[in-house]
Each structure stands twice: as C-alpha cells, then as structure tokens.
Structure 1
Amino acid sequence: MKKMKNWLLTGLFFMIVSTVFSQGKVTGTITDGTGSLPGANVQIKGSSTATSTDFDGKFTLNSTTSTGEIVISYLGYENKTVKFTVNGGTANVGTIALTSNSNELSEIVVKSTVVDIAKDRKTPVAVSTIKAAEIKEKLGTQEFPEILRNTPSVYVTKSGGGFGDARINIRGFNQNNIAVMINGMPVNDMENGSVYWSNWAGLSDVTSAMQVQRGLGSSKLATPSVGGTINIVTKSSDMKEGGSFSSGFGNGRNFKIQGSYNTGKLENGLSASVLLSQTMGDGYIPGTQFEGSNYFIALGYGTKNDKHNFQLTVTGAPQWHNQRSTASTIATYQKYGSLTEPNIKYNPDTGYLNGEQYNIRKNYYHKPVASFNWDYNINETTKLSSVLYASMGRGAGASATGGIGGNVYNSSVFLLPNGMVDYDKIQAWNNGTGSVFFNGANRTRTQVGGVYQNSSSTGRTGAGNAADPYVYNTTSGITQTSSINSHDWFGALINLNKKLSSTLTLDFGIDARTYTGYHFTVVNDLLGGGEFFDNTVASLRPAGRHLTSTYATNVQWNVFDKRDYDKISFNSTGKVRWYGAFTQLEYSKDNLTAFVQGAISQQGFKREDDFVYLPTDPLASTSYENILGGNAKAGANYNINEKHNVYVNAGFYSRQPFFNSVYPNNRSTVNPNLTNEKITGFEAGYGFRSRFFNATVNLYNTTWNDRYLKGNALPAGGGIAANTTYTEFTGLNEVHSGIEFEGSSNITDRFKVNAMFSYGIWEYKGNASVNAYYQADNTPVAGYTAATVYMDKVKVGDAAQMTASLGASYEVLTRVTVDANYNFNDKLYAGLSPVTFTSADNKGALQLPSYGLFDAGFSYKMLTGKNKDKSVNFRLNVNNLFDKIYIAESRTNIFADDNVSSSNAALGTYASNNRLYRGVADANQVFFGFGRTWNFTLRYDF
C-alpha cells in the first residue's frame, strides 16, 4: 500500500512538472528592420492567445504548449510566422524584422468586402498608402488632402486659404473627377461631384489609413474616378483598448485639442470608440478666422464564432470659416506689398465693421455621416458585406448681393488705404447717413417708399447714351446673403463574395442611393438697410416681396430641424436617384492575379422650382431624366519572383453628366446636347520589393472624350453686356499620359529616404464647339452657336504636370527623430476658359514659374508608466521652411506679350511696360501659396 502511494505521488509529481514545463512565456522584439514597431499584433497560431507589442516593440505571450508558432502582423507589413520551443519556462524568439508592404492595408483593419483596398503585388493598379501615424505626425495645421502632396501626379493647393478650402488634382483631373470613398461609401456630391474638405476636416483625427489609387482604381462601383480614387479607412470600435489626449498650436493662433478612447473588444463581443476634438484660429490669411468641431462614435459587436460583425459609426465636423474668395491680380498684391515681395496674405474680402474685423464671405456647414456595417461569414467560401448610410448636410456659403452705383462690396471706392474693405462706409450708405463717390460725384442714398431698400440690383443698368452706356441710381444697397446648399442623402451597398474554387473568387452586389438637394438664398445682414425687395417669384410679380427677416450665419448642429426661411433670388430642389449593380471575377494562383470587373448604373435627375415657374407650369416639377452609364475594367499582376512584379490594367467608363449639365442655368429644360462622357484608361507598372529598397514605376494613358463644360460669360462688348450670358462647350477631348516613380529605402538602421517623381503630358485633343446663351431666358447669342474653339494641343491647366520630392528621416537618438522633405513643382499652367480660344493662332495656356518647398520636422517619444507602455509624444512641423513666395494657381491666362489694353495697342504690352512678376503679366488673377507656417503638438497615448 505504501509502495503504491509512493508511485502515485511520484506520478503526480511528474505530471505537475511536465505541466509546468509545457507552459511558459514567449517573448521577443518586433522591428521594421530599422526601429521598433509598437502596436504590432502577435498571436499564437491556432489559438485566441494574442497581444500587442509595447512602445519598444517588445511582447510577452503566455503559451499553454511547449512548441508552436506565433503569427506577427502589422498594418503595411507582410505577416510573418515564427516557430518557438519553450525551454525552462521561457522562449525568446529574439528580434524579428517585418518586411514593408507600403501599399497594403492588412485584413485586420479592413474586414468588409465593400471597401476596395488595393493590395501590394496583387491588385494591378497604381497606388500609394499613407498610414495613420504619418497623418497624425506630419499633417499638423495643413488641410487634410495636403498629406498627399508627396504622392506621384498629385497637386494640392490651399486655393483662397480658408479653413478646409484646399483642392486636389490627380493626374490633371480636379476633385470633381476623383472618387472619394470613406469605408467604401462614395461621398462626392451626387449633383456635381464636388468634395468640400471643410466638411471632412475631422477625417485626419479618425483615419486609420488612406490610399490613393491613381487612374481607374480598384473600386467595383461606377464611381467618377476619372483621375483616381481616394480611399479613406476610419477607425473601428474593436481597436486595442486605450486612448489619447493631444493639444496643438501654431501660427495664426491656431489651436486644437483632442481626446479619444477605445474599449477594445470585450468578452461579450461588444466594443466602442469615441473621439472628440475642437479647433479654432485666426488663419494664415487675415480675415479667415475659423472654428470647427469633430465627433466620432463607433459601436461594434462581434459574435464569438466570428460569423457576424456589426459596426455602427457616426461622425461629423460642424464648422464655420471666413474666406478669401476673390483672387486678386498680381499688381494688387504688389500694391499692398512691394514689386519684389507682394503681400501674399492680402484678402480683398475682409475689413472692419463697428470696430471689429468683418468678412462678408463665410462658409458654415455640418454634414454628419452615419453608417451601419454588417459583415456575415456565411461559410468558409461565402461572405456577405453590407453597409447602410445616411448623411444630412446643412449649411451655406455667405457672400454679397447688390451694389452701390454699380460698385460691388470690394470695389476700389470702398477700400481703405491698406486695401481692407470699409464696411462701415457701406453700412453708412445703406442707412442713409453716408455718401459714396460714383458717376463723377459724392452721392447720398434715396429711399424707396419711405425705406432704404436693398435688393440684388447693383445700381447700374446698360441703358445710357453713347458717351456713358450705363445709368446709375442712388436707391440700391449691399446685403450679405447666403446660398443654402443642404441635402438629405441615403444609400446602401451590398456585396456577396464567393470563392468558387481555390483560384476563382466572384463578387457581385448592388449600389443604391437617393439624394435631395435644397438650394435657395436667404438674407443674413442688411448692413443698415431697412428691407430687402425680391421680385424673383413668378407668381408674385410684379408686386414682389418686401422682407425684413434675417438669418444668422451660425452652424446648424441639429440637422433634423428643417427650418422655414424667407427665401430670395432662387429656390430649387434637385433630386437624384442612383441604381447600380456590379460584379468582379478574380483569378489568383501562384504568382498570377487577374480580374475582370463591370458595373452599370442608372441615374435619374429631377428638378423642382417654384420661383422661376408658376405652380401651374409643368416645368415647376419635372419628371426624372434617366441616363444609363457604367464601366468595364480588367487587369493582371504577375510576381516574377519575391522581389519583382509587373502589372497591366485597362478600362472604359461611360459616365453620366452632372445635374447642372442636365438642367443648365438653373432652369428646368433638359439640355438638348446631353451625352455621356467617355473615359478610356490604360496602365502598366513594375514593382521592386526588398528588405532595404522598395520602388514602383507606372506608365499611364487616359483619354477623356465628350467632356461637358459650362463656361464663363462672354466678354463684354459688341452689344453684349457683362455677366449677362453663359457658355457651354461640347466635344471637348483630353488626353492625359505620363510616368510615375515612387521609392523608399532604409539606408541604415536609423536613416530612411523616400522619393517621388512624376511627369505628365496633359493636353486637349482636337477642337471643340461653344454655344452661348443669355442668362435671362436661355436664348442663343448670335454668332455663338456651335462656334469653333481651337483647343488642339493646348495644355490642361490648374495642376503641375511635373512633380518630384525627396524626403529623409534620421533617428539621432533613441526615439528622437528629425525629418525633412523637398517638394518641386513644374509645368504648372494657368486655369483657362476655352471661350477665349476662338482663334486658331492662340498662344495656348500660360505657364507659371516652377517652385520648390522645403519642410522639416522634429519628433520625440518619451515612454512613461510602470511598464513603459504609455508615451508622451512631441512633434514640431515647419512647412515652407525658407518662406518661399510662389504662385500656386492662376485663374486667368494673360501673357507677357499681350497688350495692356485690348482697345489701344499703342499702350504696349505688359513686358514693354515692365509689368511682369517673375515673367508673368501682373494683370493675372492668382493665389499665392502660403509662406512659412509651423505647428507644435503634444500627445499622450495610454
């Protein structure tokens, strides 16, 4: 009995020992070959045991087996599997370096098949990826699209310089022709394709990663991606538990504060993420004060068997900002600066009123977006992804209407010696207490019906005599008004992903959207006037309306409140219905990946207008004008070996016209010249990947035929009064071809270099036709019916056709890094209106001076906390370090050898009169880029 007990005790002892030694810890360090990778995911293969690396890239895992494998994954890097054996209770796998896949977003981040993310060495498109860390670190007080400045074939400007007023071009196509997708949802305005970055200012706070897919892109939808697709993937609720607080400030009294927290995925499958931020400042340009908020709330639930995953996300960025909307001439910037150093900050829209700075130009908007995502893993080969989304935008852009003796609000008669607008003088005229000089004398205002009456009249009509063709009156005034552009937008995307075999995967789905846009004008400020007279409602003519109600330019937080306004000038509702279907077949085996893709959509356009038309007029509410469009794409990628790959793709788009092309000039008559735009794209690329050097080269050719363009009014003269006409161009064709290079290298463990180069040849092909119409009744202008405009070989303007950048970062001490980047832009041409190209011997597009900008930054991360698992991060950015003065864009096309007077050649040219700035005629209306700016951010991550 005693011997048996000893055997039992001995056996139990060995069981305990073997159990102890079969359990242990797996440790190691994860790097990218040069430095640690904090936040990398480490999981024991075949189990739920997982952890994340700390701020030094170190990790510890508890293993219940003596041998096994760990799988390491990190956003933008190839997954790596490493074997381990526990000896003595611990297995140290040492330092593991991951290989960068800079153009790939891990499936850990993107779970839904409605988000078309391009994968490196697999998806055959030209793509660049910017990760959240880079956005947080380098964006600072720049506009969100400016983080893409060092991407090939991308040109970004701040335009007038107001908060969120930046614009972006890809391969020479403006952002109306670039698809912007957020978590798979299209966000381009359904009426005109526009993207207003001020409405999305908060995206920089919540973006996990952003991809720029140049060309036709990988989206399965029938999107307006003529130039490319910007794919933005936001945070999800099931991120790792933790959060951050940050505060930043910069020049222009810019200030921002932000806080966020993520619960991580709880044991019951629930998760939540919240982010709040507030920003404000005076702006770099005088009179561009702004204030914006940002909120992001994500709630998630995932079943334990990973069959279902639900995500509810709500985000919005209510904001207001004053603007610089008027592009001044170079001579004006010089007038308020000097001939050699023009005052690039000059703002002709701002001034003072009642002792405080005042700007009649203001934007205020709130566009929250809510989405509900459901990802359902039906079985091992079938997955269903769905997203329902809604957006209700509320807001407007404020400007001025009316005039005083033919003078608008920023005419010279209202400018102070420093160039600012004397709004006090306008107010004094409006209330009858002051005078204004026009038509040869100081004049005072007269009343209409016993009241100082404002209206849309400028106080000048074209019914005078030969000596002076205009008649002036003393009854008109200037009013601040807002053009409301609100909308209700609802949509759904459903995609079924089916693995037909080990090599074939089929996607097919539907895309449905409905959009209602509300467009009207309201009075904000009578500026001393007694009433506003409006005579634009057809059913109330000729008596019109006498209005005294005004509406403040405040952000509307409650977007469900449909307010009742006294509307003036115009009132129309645009409705767009979109029904689409798409499919994609993908083949993947060994080193070859290929796809064939197709999409079809029907867009219906309906217009309602109770101002222009009587209620009994059939045009007061049109039927839907339905137009069919779609696309077809195909491509293939072949990995020659682990380092080299090549790809090709081709596609064709038949794109429906925008709403204002269907119903031009705010009228309800369908355009008789409607035709779909045709876009054909070809692309080829080569990629090289190694541990120390990555590079990609792309060649592309995009043809854009039958482009519809609504142009400016005809120049005054020949019996045509200024601003009484509009133009339409048909048969405009463009060809955009080019080459792109992007590369990065780890020179040493601490020294990294990246570079970019792109060269484009973007030209109009063949001639086009112009038709001109009078704005009042859409009747044709004599001599401008199918008139020829000579556009062949004219350069496409508004974006630099050659760009290059070279950047480097160096870790001078542990977690202390300095970085710098030089960005160069050349072959930048002025924006142009084809209406001026009525002669075959035209001079083409004006080329602006090239320029280069140098940016620099400094980062320091200090580890804190008992386990050094928290950090305090310091970041300083300096943009345009050497304060370079440069022209970012020109809205006119005046050459140095053009005459300064169109009616008197004897006065000579701009060159002969020494009216040039760096070779550019000083009559050109331009926006200069920003000079030196800086910002500092302090962030605590926990």
Structure 2
Amino acid sequence: MKKQCLFVSFLVLSLCATAQEKPQDSTKIETLDEVLLSSTRAKDKTPVAFTNITKEELESSNLGQDLPILLDQLPSVVTTSDAGSGVGYTGIRVRGTDATRVNVTINGIPYNDSESQGTFWVNMPDFVSSVEDIQLQRGVGTSSNGSGAFGASLNLKTLNPSTEGYANTTNTVGSYGTRKHNLSVGSGIKNNFYAEARLSKIQSDGYIDRAASDLKSFYTEAGYITDKTQIKALVFGGDQQTYQSWNGAPEAVVNGDLEGIQTFIDRNYSSDAEADNLLNAGRTYNSYTYDNQTDNYKQTHYQLHGTHQFSSRFSANLSGNFTKGAGYFEQFKDNEELGDYFPGNSNVSEEGDVIRRRWLDNDFTAIVYSLNYKRDQLNLYLGGGYNTYKGDHYGEIIWDSFASEVPIRNKYYTSVGEKKDYSTYLKAEYDLTSKLFAFADVQYRAVHYNSTGLSSDLEPIDVEKDYSFFNPKLGLSYKIDNYNSVYGSFAVANREPNRDDLTKNPVTPKAERLNDFEFGFKHRTSAFSATANLYYMSYKDQLVLTGDLDNAGDAIRENVADSYRAGIELQLGYKASDKLRIDANATFSKNKIDTFHYTVYDTQYDPNTFNTVSYSPVVTEYKDTDISFSPEIIAGGTVTYSLLEDLNLSFISKYVGKQYLDNTSSASKSIDAYFVNNINASYKIHPNWIKEVSFNLLVNNIFNSEYVSNGYTYSYFYRPENSGDEAITENFYYPQATTNFLLGMTLKF
C-alpha cells in the first residue's frame, strides 16, 4: 500500500508541474475529460453494438430506484428486484447473460466483485446522481479493464467538472414508504481548481414483506484542470442495510393456490409459524421473519486520475484506485446441530437455535493506464491495468440456545481469497478511405486466484489456479452515404470461473470461451434513426446450472461443451414533430445448449424420523435445449409528448417473453411473459429566485399487472410412505410491485 501511495503522489506532482493554463470554456473541459475513457469506449464508427445514455435522459426517472432499473429500456436488457420495487438488491441481464458476465467499470476502474464477478448496486445507492453518462456495449465489445465481458460492458463516467458553482437538492416520496433525499454542491472552477460533493439517503419498506432498505451514500471530488492537464481525486461510497428477501416465494403462494400451499407445507414439514406465513402472506410473502434478518455492508472507493494532452497527437491517462469493503449478513436458524458449527465438540448432535453472522472483509486495489496517439487517419491506443484483491470470509455465532457452552463471536469458519489480474491491450482505428473504417483490438489478460481455509459449511477450501487469455477483435464499418452505414465485427472473449465454481464443483471447471460475430446497419436523419444488429455468440465450455447440488444444498454450475445465442436487435427513433417523439427497440433471439445433462436427486426418507435412507442422482440428457433466463423476445418503447415547452409526458412499455428457470425447456419450470407499462411526467419552471425547479412523477405498472421477473427451481424425488414415483419440482418466484408511484422535486441553485 505504501508503494501505491508513493506512486499516486508522484503522479500528482509530475502532472501538476505541467499544468499552466486556465481553461477557457466548458467544451475544452469536456474534451479533456473524455481522454479518461476514450480507450475503452465505443464511438459512432466503432463496429460494435452500443447505446449511450446521458444524465439528462436519466434525470426524470432518477427518483431512488437502483441503476439496473433505470436502464430497463435499453435494448436486450431485462431487470429484476428482490424487494419488488426497484430499491435494494436489483439485477440486470443483457442478451440473457447475468450480471456476473457484464463487465462494469467506473471511470475505467473495474467494479465487478473479483471473486463472484457480480455487481451489487445496493452498495452504491443514488450513484446515478453523480454520473455524467453511461455506455452499454452489447456482446464482447471493445477491450476493457477487469473481468471478461460475456454479454455486455457497462461503462460509467462520473460528472464533468462544472464551470460554475451550484447547489442542487432532490427529495422524493413514493409507494411502500419510499423516500430519497440528496444534496449536491459544486464550487465551479476557480483558479483552475474545483470541488464537488453529494450526500444521499434512500429508504423503502419494499413491496415484499419486510424487504426494507436503509441506504446512505456520498460522493466527493476535487480537481485541478487546465487546457492540457486534469487531475482529479474522488472518494465515494455507500452504507446499506437491507432486510433479506433473497428466497423469493413458492409458486403456489404467488398464484394464491391454497391447496398447493398446503401440499408445500406438508412435504416440507413447515412449523406452525411458517405455515401461517405461507397461508396468509399472499404474493408479498417473505420466508424470513426474524427481526434482524439483515444484510449490512459498507464500501468506500478512492480514485485518483491524471490526464495530460502532451500534444495534438499524444495524450495519456493514469489512474489509481483503492476500495475498502466490509460487512455481514445476519440470520436466525432454528433446530441447528452443534456439529455443523463446532465439529470438535463432544455433543455434535445436540440441537439448538442460533443467530449467526457471515462476514466479508475485502480490499481491492487497481492501477489502469491508457496512451493515445493520433496521426492523420490513425488512432492508436495502448492500455491496461493491474488489480489485486483480498477477501476475508468468516462466520460467527452471536447467540445460541445450545445446552453446551458455545464460544460466542469466535470464528467458526474462516477462509481467504486472493486474486491478481493483469491485462494489456492495443487498439488501432484507421480510416482506410473517407467511407471505410477499420478497427483492430488485441488483449492479453492473466489471472491468478487462490483460496484457503474452510467454507461456510466447514468444508476445506484449497484452490490455486492460473489463467491466461488472448482476446482478439476485428471489425469494419462502411459509410454508404450521409444517412446509411453498415458494420461487422468478430471478437473473442475468455472468462475464468468464479469462486463458487472453483470451491463447490466436484469437477474442476474450465474457463469459458466466446466467439462473437456482429453485423449491423444504421440509418440516421435529423428526424429518424434506425439500427439493426445481428449477432451470433458461440460459447465453448459455458458454465450453466445443472440441477446438481453441493453437500450444503447449494446449486452448482458445470461446463457445457457447446452453446450459442443468436438474434437480431432492432432500434428506432422518430421525431414526429417538435412535441412528439417515439423510441422503440426489440430483440428476437434463440439461445441454445447442444447437449445438457440435468441432475435430480432421488432421496428416500424414513417416514418416522425423516432421516435420509438413500441418496443417488438421476441424470437426464437434453438435446438442443434452451438456456435459462434467455427470453426469445425483449421489447421496449417510449412515446414522449411535450405538452408545453417544459412539460413532458412519457408512456413507457416493456415486454419480456417467456423465460425458463433451468436448461430443460420445461414449461412447468418457467416465468410467464409479461408486459408492463409506466408513465413518466416532468415539469420545469425557472422563477427569478432560483435557477430551476423541476417536478418528476413516475407511475410504474399503471395497469396493475401481477407479474414476476426472476426465480429459481430445483427438483427431487420425495418418497415417504404411500407417495408416488414422480419427481417433485419446487419453483420459487420474485413477484414485482403492482401499481406504484414516485414523486420528486429538484431545486437547482
């Protein structure tokens, strides 16, 4: 850490020594700020599928919901919320791939968790209020920093420095006790220096029972900027407490099927309290009832960026990052065996209730760089980064009812995961003619991961793996005329397994490989735009859920040799008049696995003691089967009408086709297609005493649809006395909120 501090200090001093001139206008500031991300972002001529979204486009709907929900209208995107209302734990899938396969960077710094490779936006609530713009690249896209992109890359850039001082505050109220309050201030640029800050608080009771969220966040930035140089230091983070709603609701509960609920109670031997909850909660059911069944996590990011324009041809950026995270989730568990926590105790079969906490204390350090050389028709980038991660995992009991003495707050398991990630890329963009543009990109990435200790189920973890990947990309775009262009590209991506894959699988999994073919057409006039993008994503050794379980009952993934995603993405935008605009997108796809082996356990019980007397897997082979959570149709549309100059009304629609919960293409294990409609209204006034007052109203699900957006499933054979030979399937779903609203007011000084 000392070496890193010396490094960034040297960066500051060296760049300050080159800074001389004061910026003259905001255009120069924005141009210099773009150098920070120019090496990883797609541009208009880049032959990949991407969408840009600006802070102005997000402003009217940024009323407290998490980032994934705000991106719901982008092509090929499906979002979900555990709490049902978009606040708390939320998720995003792009082209059917989950968040662990979406590479996320903030100012070029990797954000994905190094071990799980997922992203947890609940840890950075209201971060969108400090974002200038977002780019979503679909498919492999261009080389970036961090984990491999297997479905998309999501690139966030924080706010450009404001040339003038400002103060803004937004206050939101809404359904389910949702509140958002923030305050943002900025100094403007004074003698080449500037500073900005934001404080935010979001609270919500959630649509699902007890799925409450209490979220706090902050953002600070200070910098020095001239025509040729920018140095900026950022510190931002979040502190979240959410009541767990991770388990979803059984299918019979969601459907209001009383007979099915009673059958579920009988075969799961539910307690009286559990049965009462199942029978009476309705579709907002939450299995957790312990008062402090919460997830608690705090994360702080420290970033330092230096950018310098050495000449009209050469510019460079160097960035450093340190992220500190720590937190736990607390659980009440009844009828636990002492041996599950302290196997060395002489009374291992003794039963009792416990309250436990499972902790993660992690550090992430990153250094990224990019060099840009421009000459005539050539634009050349050299970039990359080096990341290190250390995560301490441990558990403790904070209360128990065992008759034997138990060491309270002693760690009953510990493990350490460490990861090192190095990558470098070289990109070339070249205008072969006035109409033909070529793009080439090669990346080398090396990963080392090791983990030692005990897992949460007290199984030994001893993993040490090294991976090295070569990821080439090549594409062409051709300008047919001033209104039409075509492009095509081929890209390769490789991705290492995550922590659970390496520590839980009975067979060590292989790294995944993706060959991505993209071909597109763009048409653009002043009033009308349309794009069509064909893609074929061919996977080798893709990791998928098999139905197999580890010895703790958790689902595991295994490689499937061959699978693919193929589809077409359509977008259009039409400005019918100064008052009316229509935007729409649709994705039609096929997502298939060539050969898939599905595992169901055959479990037989002693009907008197409920102890397992036999335990064996039943494996079924499926051919040409659908990949789970990959709808064949995803469509969205927005119609915006300006009633007055500063009064806009938008009607927003989203359709998501049928999704399978596993890879068996079974209709009995699926999520029904859903069609949801929202209304967004915004009104701005400019009185003499303030710069702007704006009112924003978001009414979600205006037709009160009862739908679910996510779920999971597992099957098993259940054979107590007099039961049949058919496998039992348990489906669990995450119901989303019926009609609800958010109303916000923003004051800009």
TM range (shorter): 0.7 to 0.9
Identity, % of aligned pairs?
21
Rate the CA distance shift 1:698–1:367 in 2: closer, same or farther, 3 A: same
Partners in 2 of 1:864 and 1:612 — Cα distance?
A: 59
Secondary structure of the residue aligned to 1:892 is: strand
Residue 478 of structure 2 corresponds to which residue in structure 1?
638
Change (3 A) 1:613 1:728: closer
How far, CA to CA, are the matches of 2:254 and 2:668 in structure 1?
Answer: 23
Q: Residue 232 of structure 2 aligns to which amino acid in structure 1?
A: Q
| 1:901 Cα deviation after fit | 8.3
Distance 1:797 1:613, change over 3 A: closer
Output one character per residue of 1:369-422: Cα deviation in whole Å (capped at 9) or x when no partner. Answer: 111111121222111111101101111222234526x9xxxxxxxxxxxxxxxx
Indicate if the aligned counterparts of 1:333 and 1:342 stay in contact, CA closer than 8 A: no
Corresponding residue for residue 710 of structure 2:
889
Structure 2 residue aligned with 1:225: 149
Which residue number corresponds to residue 479 of structure 1?
354
User: Partner residue of 2:688?
Assistant: 865
Say yes or no: does 1:765 pair with 2:608.
no
Map 1:504-903 onto structure 2 (within 5 A).
504-526=378-400, 529=401, 546-549=406-409, 566-568=410-412, 570-588=413-431, 589-609=433-453, 624-664=464-504, 673-709=508-544, 713=548, 723=552, 729-767=558-596, 790-829=621-660, 831-832=661-662, 843=666, 846-865=669-688, 870-892=691-713
1:238 and 1:272 in contact (8 A); partners too:
no
Q: Which one is further off, 690-699 or 579-588?
A: 579-588
Q: Residues 327, 281 of structure 1: CA spacing in aligned structure 2 closer, same or farther, 3 A cutoff?
A: closer
Aligned Cα root-mean-square deviation (Å): 3.7
* Separation in 1, partners of 2:457, 2:79: 41
Q: Give per-residue Cα distances to partners, 1:850-876, cap 9 Å, x unaligned.
A: 21111002211110226xx71110111
SS where residue 34 of structure 2 aligns? coil
The question of whether the paired residues in 2 share the 8 Å contact of 1:729 and 1:770 is answered with no
**Distance of 1:590 and 1:621 partners within structure 2:** 57
Q: Which amino acid aligns with 1:596?
A: A
Whether contact under 8 Å (2:42, 2:50) holds in the other structure is yes
Distance 2:565 2:452 in 1: 38
Whole-angstrom distance in 1 between the partners of 2:558 and 2:455: 27
Q: Is the 8 A contact 1:403 1:456 kept in 2?
A: no
> What is the aligned partner in structure 2 of residue 380 from structure 1?
312
1:123-162 equivalences in 2 (<5 Å): 123-161=46-84
User: In the TM superposition, what is the alpha-carbon distance from 1:359 to its structure 2 partner?
Assistant: 4.6
- Give yes or no for the alignment of 1:350 onto 2:308: no
User: How many correspondences in the alignment?
Assistant: 694
Query: Which SS does the other structure have where 1:641 is aligned?
Result: coil
Q: 1:117 to 1:531 in 2, by over 3 A?
A: farther
Q: Is the 8 A contact 2:64 2:126 kept in 1?
A: no
Kindly indicate which of the two structures has a greater share of residues assigned to strand.
2
- For the 8 Å contact 2:35–2:316, the answer to whether it is kept is no
Q: CA deviation at 1:881?
A: 0.8
In the TM superposition, what is the alpha-carbon distance from 1:663 to its structure 2 partner?
3.7
From the superposition, tell whether residues 336 and 287 of structure 1 become closer, same or farther in structure 2 (CA, over 3 Å).
Answer: farther
Secondary structure at 1:135 match in 2: helix
Please say which structure displays the higher CA radius of gyration: 1
Equivalent of 1:929, from 710, 731, 736?
736
DSSP 3-state at the match of 2:210: coil
Residues 337 and 852 of structure 1, relative CA distance in 2, 3 Å threshold: farther
- 1:547 maps to amino acid: P
Q: Deviations over 1:607-653 (max 9, x none)?
A: 23279999xxxx9987x532212311111222222211111111112
Alignment map for 1:181-580 (pairs within 5 Å) = 181-221=105-145, 223-266=147-190, 268-303=191-226, 306-334=227-255, 343-350=282-289, 358-360=291-293, 362-403=294-335, 456=340, 475-499=350-374, 501-526=375-400, 529=401, 546-549=406-409, 566-568=410-412, 570-580=413-423
Whole-angstrom CA distance in 2 between matches of 1:576 and 1:168: 25
Taking structure 1 as the reference length, the TM-score comes to 0.68
Superposed displacement of residue 908, structure 1: 9.6
Looking at both structures, which has the greater relative contact order when contacts are Cα pairs under 8 Å and sequence separation is at least 6? 2
Q: 1:857-909: CA deviations, max 9, x gaps?
A: 2211110226xx71110111100011100122231278xxx999899787999
State the SS of the aligned residue for 1:331: helix
What's the CA shift string for 1:528-550, capped at 9, x where partnerless?
x37886xxxxxxxxxxxx2134x
Distance 1:939 1:532 in 2: 58
- C-alpha spacing 1:287/1:783, structure 2 compared with 1 (3 Å): closer
Alignment gaps of 5+ in structure 1: 1-46, 52-72, 76-105, 352-357, 407-453, 460-471, 534-545, 550-565, 666-670, 716-721, 773-780, 911-920
Partners of 1:342 and 1:742 in 2: CA distance: 41
Query: 3-state SS of the aligned residue for 1:626?
Result: strand
Alpha carbons of structure 1 residues 903 and 686: separation in structure 2 relative to 1, 3 Å: farther
Q: Which amino acid aligns with 1:804?
A: A
Counterparts in 2 of 1:611 and 1:349: CA distance versus 1, 3 Å: closer
Q: What residue in structure 1 maps to residue 271 of structure 2?
A: none
| Shift, 1:293, TM fit | 1.1
Segments of structure 2 that go 5 or more residues without pairing to the other structure are 1-21, 262-279, 602-613
C-alpha distance in 2, partners of 1:327/1:927?
5
Equivalent pair of 1:846/1:893 in contact (CA under 8 Å)? no
CA distance in 2, matches of 1:283, 1:611: 32
Report if aligned partners of 1:700, 1:739 keep a CA contact under 8 Å in 2.
yes
Sort the Cα spacing of 1:714 and 1:490 in 2 relative to 1 into closer, same or farther, 3 A. closer
For 1:478, the aligned partner's letter is D
In 2, the alpha carbon distance for the partners of 1:793 and 1:649 equals 27
Q: Using a 3 Å threshold, how does the CA distance of structure 1 residues 874 and 598 change in structure 2: closer, same or farther?
A: same
AA partner of residue 510 (structure 2): T
Give the Cα–Cα distance (whole angstroms) in 2 for the partners of residues 240 and 208 of structure 1: 16
Residue 701 of structure 1 aligns with an amino acid whose one-letter code is Y
Helix, strand or coil for the counterpart of 1:324?
Answer: coil
Contact in 2 for aligned 1:155/1:800 (Cα 8 Å): no
For the Cα contact (< 8 Å) 1:199–1:317, is it kept in 2? yes
- 1:763 touches 1:793 (CA, 8 Å); kept in 2? yes
Answer whether contact 2:547 2:600 (CA < 8 A) is retained: no
1:643-686 alpha-carbon deviations (Å, 9 max, x no partner): 11111111112322223334436xxxxx8644321111000111
Describe the superposition over 1:771-826 as per-residue Cα deviations: whole angstroms up to 9, x where unpaired: 99xxxxxxxx9987xx9752432111224331112211111123122111121111
What secondary structure is seen at the aligned counterpart in 2 of 1:625?
Answer: strand
Deviations 1:28-60 (A, max 9, x none): xxxxxxxxxxxxxxxxxxx97657xxxxxxxxx
1:729 maps to a residue whose letter is E
Greater mean alpha carbon deviation, residues 706-715 or residues 576-585: 706-715
The secondary structure found in structure 1 opposite 2:566 is: strand
TM-score, L = length of structure 2: 0.84
Query: Does the CA-based 8 Å contact 2:172-2:744 persist in structure 1?
Result: yes
